[in-house]
Structure 1
Amino acid sequence: MQNLPQPLDVRLMNLTATVLFMAVLAAALLAFAGWAMRHPVFAIRAIVVDGEVHHNNAATLRANVLPRLSGNFFTLDLARVRDAFEAVPWVRRAVVRREFPDRLHVTLEEHQAIALWSREDEDAEARLVDRDGTVFEANLGDLESEDLPRLWAPNAQASEVLATYRRLAPMFARLDATLDALELTERANWRAALDSGAQIELGRGSADEVVQRTARFIDTVAQAAARYGRAADAIESADLRYPNAYALRLRGVSTVAAAPGTPAARPAAPRTAPAGTPSRRTAPQDRRNG
């Protein structure tokens, strides 16, 4: 038996009925969604926080985060929640997810402070540097160690200064000295301070150039100090900005000496002595700025 095609008016009626059914279903779903979004059963009733929470407690998180939350389980903007947690002191990263029907689960990662971030002539501010070279603000009273080195540079060059510090610190350790501070001035001069109070002008240049200059100083300064009956811990200041020499000031003795094994500079400025023959000229009294 052959099936005859349905008349056009019948097909139009069926299509109309289908469209109307879909429209009613969509309206019902939207109405249900609107009811669900407004229903108090889906209000956020708990926020579970785990991960690294050594420097924050529930009261601190509540005070910083809750005022910035709005919406329920369905309407809450997770990006805003994440930003709210990451604005809390010490929080480096927050991962936020929903847990049906009324909970948020937040996993925190904290900054690991390894240095202070401030200039030598400034009081220490509540700024720190983490292991990745990120500068962040936090309460210094929350520090677990008070022996953090001090770093500083303009234009947010924390990563560069931290990387250079990590290269220089083991070098000064060969003199039984601790690198307490490393600063890159606005005029691109590197400046270091040791735990003994010694000030070291490292000069300009890339990190590789500064490391090379420092290595020459480390290799020869003990020999230069011994000529005057002093050990390396008697260093008060050193200026490594000379092309082939450095100026050295020891407690009770001042000298300008060329690094052994390098050609001496001409007697013009700066005045230096041939390698192995320390001059008795007084080193510059003023500390060269930048």
Structure 2
Amino acid sequence: MNELQVLPEPARGPQLWWGLLFLVLVLSGLVYGAYSINAWLDDEQQLPVRDIRVSGDLKYLVKADVEQAIRGNQPGSFFELDIQRALKDIEALPWVYRASIRKEWPNNLHVHVVEQQAAASWNGDMLLNTQGGTFSAVSPEGVTLPKLFGPEGSEQTALQGYRAMQALLLRSGVQVEELVLSERFAWNLRLNNGLRLNLGRDEFIDRLQRFVDIYPLLQKDQRQPEYVDLRYDTGLAVGWKSTDVQKPG
């Protein structure tokens, strides 16, 4: 009769310790690798923002100002760059209406800028864009902008009124040089020939049409008109420039 021989189990102590040692080494390697990669990414000398490409139809904005707005406020690495902060810094620049930023691998940026389009000066110290919004910038050289004045919050009203009046005056060969909208929303104009128009508050377009109709007659008069008061239901009043010449005493 054959007897079964039971073999003793091999000792597991050394294998277990070797396995635990291997696991510790693997985990330590992963932790060290993650730390090294994070430190490398944080080091701007390892991966700085190399090139900033600026696109858009730019007339007044200097591309170097866009780059300075990014590099001057965020000197960190490409991966640490805060896009929202950079976007805010760029849109704070004069002549920037809207901007967008896109990261391009490996360490470049593409900035697209929509520039402000100035439609008029506003209250002597601001500019109005074509949407009726104000922005602070130096009026461009060689460009003559109409001067608009009005109470705070009336920017779009003043700009829309200016456009309607300018369109009406085109066939008369004159332009609005200055428009004043009073606190009571009364309209006053100064044309590019120096003539001043007082339109009042109500039906100012109809009153301006009345001026357009009689303007050819004013041009034929030998006297020079100084102002035209149109705050009447049907008529108007004309103030003439003085032609008196003082004689030497």
Same fold (TM over 0.5): yes
Equivalent position of 1:34 in the other structure: 38
Task: Tell whether the 8 Å contact from 1:168 to 1:211 is kept in structure 2 after alignment.
Answer: yes
The Cα of 1:167 is off from its aligned counterpart by 0.9
Q: Does 1:174 align with 2:171?
A: yes
Q: Which residue of 2 aligns with 1:48?
A: 53
Give me the whole-angstrom Cα distance separating, in 1, the residues matched to 2:71 and 2:145: 33
| Correspondence 1:186 to 2:183 | yes
- Structure 1 residue aligned with 2:151: 154
The structural deviation recorded for 1:195 is 0.8
**Identical positions, percent:** 29
CA 64–219 in structure 1, closer or farther in 2 if over 3 Å, else same: same
- Report the CA distance shift for 1:161/1:28 in structure 2 as closer, same or farther (over 3 A): farther
Determine which structure has greater relative contact order: mean sequence separation of CA pairs < 8 Å that are 6+ residues apart, divided by chain length: 2
Task: State the structure with more CA Rg.
Answer: 2
Secondary structure at 1:154's aligned position in 2?
coil
> Retained in 2: the 8 A contact 1:73–1:100?
no
Distance 1:61 1:173 in 2: 39
Amino acid at match of 1:168: M
Cα distance in 1 between the residues matched to 2:181 and 2:194? 18
User: In structure 2, do the counterparts of structure 1 residues 178 and 72 end up closer, same or farther at CA, with 3 Å as the change threshold?
Assistant: same
Residue in structure 1 matching 2:161, options 155, 160, 164? 164
CA–CA distance in structure 2, aligned partners of residues 57 and 28 of structure 1: 45
Residue 98 of structure 2 corresponds to residue 93 of structure 1: yes
Q: Given that residues 96 and 106 in structure 1 are in contact (C-alpha distance below 8 angstroms), is that contact kept between their aligned partners in structure 2? A: yes
User: In 2 relative to 1, CA 166–131 (structure 1 residues): closer, same or farther, beyond 3 Å?
Assistant: same
* Structure 2 alignment gaps of length 5 or more: 1-22, 244-249
What is the CA-CA distance between 1:62 and the residue it aligns to?
4.0
- One-letter code of the match for 1:38? D
Match in the other structure for 2:118: 113
The corresponding residue for 1:217 is 211
Task: Give 1:68's aligned residue.
Answer: 73
- Which residue of the partner structure matches residue 143 of structure 1? 141
C-alpha distance in 1 between matches for 2:216 and 2:166? 17
Q: CA deviation at 1:173?
A: 2.6
Q: Is the 8 A contact 1:42 1:73 kept in 2?
A: yes
Root mean square deviation, CA, Å: 3.0
Q: Which moved more, 1:153-162 or 1:39-48?
A: 39-48
Residue 51 (structure 1) shift: 1.1
User: What is the TM-score when the length of structure 1 is the normalising length?
Assistant: 0.64
Identify which of 75, 83, 89 aligns with 2:88.
Answer: 83
Q: CA deviation at 1:78?
A: 1.0
Residue 94 of structure 1: how far off its partner (Å): 1.0
CA deviation map 1:98-152 (0-9, x unaligned): 112211110111112222222xxxxx43x22222222211123x3342x221112
SS at match of 2:52: strand
- Match of 2:72, SS state, is helix
Measure, in 2, the Cα distance between the counterparts of 1:85 and 1:48: 13
Do 1:169 and 1:179's aligned partners in 2 also have CA atoms closer than 8 Å?
yes
Quote the residue 1:203 is aligned against: 200
- In the alignment, structure 1 segments of 5+ residues that lack a partner are 1-19, 119-123, 254-290
* Contact 1:41 1:102 (8 Å CA) reproduced: no
Q: Which residue of 2 aligns with 1:266?
A: none
Match of 2:3 in 1: none
Aligned residues between the structures: 217
d(CA) in 1 for partners of 2:215 and 2:89? 52
Instruction: Classify 1:163/1:29 alpha carbon distance in 2 versus 1 (closer, same or farther; 3 Å).
Output: farther
8 A Cα contact 1:184 1:191, kept in partner: yes
Letter in 2 for 1:240: L
For 1:138 and 1:170, locate their aligned partners in 2 and report how far apart those are by CA, in whole Å.
27
Instruction: Tell me the amino acid that sits aligned with residue 135 of structure 1.
Output: T
